[in-house]
Amino acid sequence: MFDFGIGYTELVVIALVAVIVIGPKDLPKVLRAFGRTMQKVRGMAREFQGHLDQAMREAGVDDIKKEISNLKTMNPVEDVKKEINSISASNPIPTVAKELTADLKKQDDDFKKYFGEIGAKPAESASPAEEPVKTEPAQTPKPEAPPVVH
């Protein structure tokens, strides 16, 4: 019933002590004075709470409370996952890697075409009695000279 932690049995004990100590004749006056005092205390507490609320509004505490509640509901892990997924979806690295791989393969094929396999042994004649066949070296295309800029 009461918010300040006193039950019915404690109230009965307090009332009996008050009747015995104060007496039945003066008890109504004391209870009336106690009621007025409690009314003044409640009024002062209400006024104090109003001043605190106004000071908090002026200091922007309401905005801070809203920000804190937003932070409590925010899930940064999900935001990071979404960001990573959006980056990986629009990531040009796999495409560039495929292009570079194709370019490297083409350059490697061109190198092998012009210079032969790396580590390949030159062809030897089958028997020393046979005359070696003279072959003219294959003409390699000369690379084009870069244009001269004046």
pLDDT tens readout for residues 51-75: 988 888 888 877 888 888 887 777 7
Other Cβ atoms closer than 10 A to 30 = 13
| Range of weakest confidence among 11-20, 31-40, 79-88, 136-145 | 136-145
| Range of weakest confidence among 16-20, 82-86, 108-112 | 82-86
The pLDDT of residue 138 is: 55
The pLDDT of residue 35 is: 93
pLDDT band at 125 (very low <50, low <70, confident <90, very high): very low
Q: Which amino acid type is present at position 90?
A: S
The pLDDT of residue 33 is: 93
Cβ atoms 125, 132 nearer than 8 A: yes
The pLDDT of residue 132 is: 53
Q: Evaluate if residue 10 carries a pLDDT over 60.
A: yes
The pLDDT of residue 140 is: 60
More confident residue, 28 or 83: 28
- If you ran DSSP here, which 8-state letter would residue 74 be given? -
Q: Tell me the C-alpha to C-alpha distance, in Å, between residue 29 and each of 9, 13, 35, 37, 63.
A: 24, 20, 10, 12, 49
Residues 6+ apart with CB under 8 A from 2: 11
More confident residue, 125 or 12: 12
Centroid of chain to Cα 48: 41
Q: Is the pTM of this model over 0.85?
A: no
